[in-house]
Amino acid sequence: MKEQARQARAESRIIGLVPTMGALHAGHLSLFRQARADNDVVVASVFVNPLQFGPTDDFARYPRDLEADAALAAEAGVDHLFAPDVAEMYPRGSIATRVDVGPIGDIGEGAWRPGFFAGVATVCSKLFHIVGPDRAYFGQKDAQQLAVIRQLVADLDLPLEIVGCPTVREHDGLALSSRNAYLDPEARRAAPALAAALTAARDAAAAGEASAAELRWIVETCLEAEPGIHLQYVDLFDPATFSARERLDGRGVLAAAAYVGGTRLIDNVELVSAAPQPELAAEFATEVGAGMKQAAGMKRGAA
Ligand code: AMP
């Protein structure tokens, strides 16, 4: 992989990288297509990274199907599929060095999955060094992961651009995920309630609700009506820093994790507050004023 990447760089070809854990679905394919549109060379990695799984997590049973992944990736325009085994990434069994992502690693998902974001940041650092991409693509589906990677790249001056891509959903709102393969028919029936509850909170925010406690309450209440789902957390975060917010002021991310049967699903929605922003209101007034003056000028000119 390093040699192919070196050759592409020597030819001044722009490289886009899409890191994945495989078991590819339409969400991954949307990232591949975006990378295909933006770059000369598209590299996708498939690596189930043991570093980001806790001792009770599903590392051993995480779905793996490299043959199917290779066919889907090629169809979506991927030039090189990099699918190292664990020994290639961690020749001595593991590695001692970890990327410390600071406080963002201990809140939200990080509070429930200790070490998860350090594991993600470490493997992504390795992938960035192996492939040397100009751009790397990550899904908004994992909004906190996207924020962690943006922070990693900014803090360490890594020479690449991070591109965030929208969440791809099933027709009933369920966010696509490799872990959806674990859902039995009853769990699959219940699962879309998570997205529906988050959407209800998003609508309330757009209608003026700014209290994180109220937004949480809306999600909790919606999910109480669905006994097949057990909410683990729902919290409001700043979209850039992912620090927790008690009030929505401008834009926010409402992120949640829930158990559906034995399967842990995560999802999030972007919120836009309805509260008028004084500076936006001033900008709006200026624009309207300028528009009225222009309209008056045109009329005068026409007369
Ligand atoms: P994963 O294989 O689950 O580690 O995901 C690899 C990349 O695909 C990550 O950047 C995810 O955020 C992204 N991704 C996963 N599911 C979706 C989805 N439903 N829509 C868009 N991107 C996704």
- Using the mean position of ligand 1's atoms as its centre, give its distance from the Cα of residue 195 in Å: 16
Q: Which pLDDT tens digit goes with each residue over 124-141?
A: 999 999 999 999 999 999
Using an 8 Å Cβ cutoff, are 125 and 99 in contact? yes
- Residue 300: pLDDT above 50? no
pLDDT at residue number 159: 97
In this structure, are strands 135-139 and 161-165 parallel, antiparallel, or unpaired? parallel
Using an 8 Å Cβ cutoff, are 41 and 13 in contact? yes
pLDDT at residue number 205: 97
From CA 238, how far away is CA 90, in angstroms rounded?
A: 34
Ligand 1 closest atom vs CA 145: 12
Which residue out of 20, 42, 263 has the highest number of ligand 1 atoms within 8 Å of its CB and is therefore the one to mutate? 20
Among residues of the chain, what percentage have pLDDT more than 90? 83
Which residue out of 24, 28, 180 has the highest number of ligand 1 atoms within 8 Å of its CB and is therefore the one to mutate? 28
Q: Which pLDDT tens digit goes with each residue over 156-172?
A: 999 999 999 999 999 99
- Using the mean position of ligand 1's atoms as its centre, give its distance from the Cα of residue 226 in Å: 26
pLDDT at residue number 292: 40
Output the CA torsion sign for 227, 233, 234, 239: negative
pLDDT at residue number 15: 97
Secondary structure letter of residue 81 according to DSSP? E
- Shortest CA distance to 141 belongs to which of 270, 295, 8, 6? 270
Mean pLDDT of 249-275: 94
Q: Which pLDDT tens digit goes with each residue over 272-293?
A: 988 555 554 454 444 444 444 3
Delineate the domains of the chain, giving CATH numbers in brackets. Answer: 2-165 (3.40.50.620), 178-272 (3.30.1300.10)
Ligand 1 closest atom vs CA 24: 2
**Which residue has tokens 């940041």?**
121
- Using the mean position of ligand 1's atoms as its centre, give its distance from the Cα of residue 176 in Å: 8
Residue 45 bridge partners (DSSP): 19, 82
Q: What value does the mean pLDDT of the chain take?
A: 91
pLDDT at residue number 233: 98
Of all protein residues, the one whose alpha carbon is nearest to atom 12 of ligand 1 is 139
From CA 174, how far away is CA 258, in angstroms rounded?
A: 12
- Residue 202: pLDDT above 60? yes
The SS3 call for residue 77 is coil
The verdict on whether 28 is a catalytic residue reads: yes
Q: Residues near 173 by Cβ (< 8 Å), separated by ≥ 6?
A: 192, 195, 196, 199
pLDDT at residue number 301: 35
**Which residue has tokens 């900014």?**
154
Q: Which two tokens stand for residue 274?
A: 């309805």
The SS3 call for residue 158 is coil
Ligand 1 closest atom vs CA 167: 20
Using an 8 Å Cβ cutoff, are 101 and 88 in contact? no
In the structure, which protein residues have their CB atom closer than 6 angstroms to any atom of ligand 1? 20-21, 27-28, 30-31, 138-139, 141-142, 165, 167-168, 175-178
pLDDT at residue number 11: 85
Ligand 1 closest atom vs CA 21: 2
pLDDT at residue number 94: 81
Q: Which pLDDT tens digit goes with each residue over 214-257?
A: 999 999 999 999 999 999 999 999 998 999 999 999 999 999 99
pLDDT at residue number 10: 82
Residue 265 bridge partners (DSSP): 258
pLDDT at residue number 8: 85
Mean pLDDT of 62-80: 97
| Residue, of 60 and 5, whose pLDDT is higher | 60
Q: Which pLDDT tens digit goes with each residue over 19-55?
A: 999 999 999 999 999 999 999 999 999 999 999 999 9
The SS3 call for residue 267 is strand
Q: Considering 25, 28, 129, 230, which one is annotated as catalytic?
A: 28
pLDDT at residue number 73: 98
- Residue 67: pLDDT above 60? yes
pLDDT at residue number 6: 85
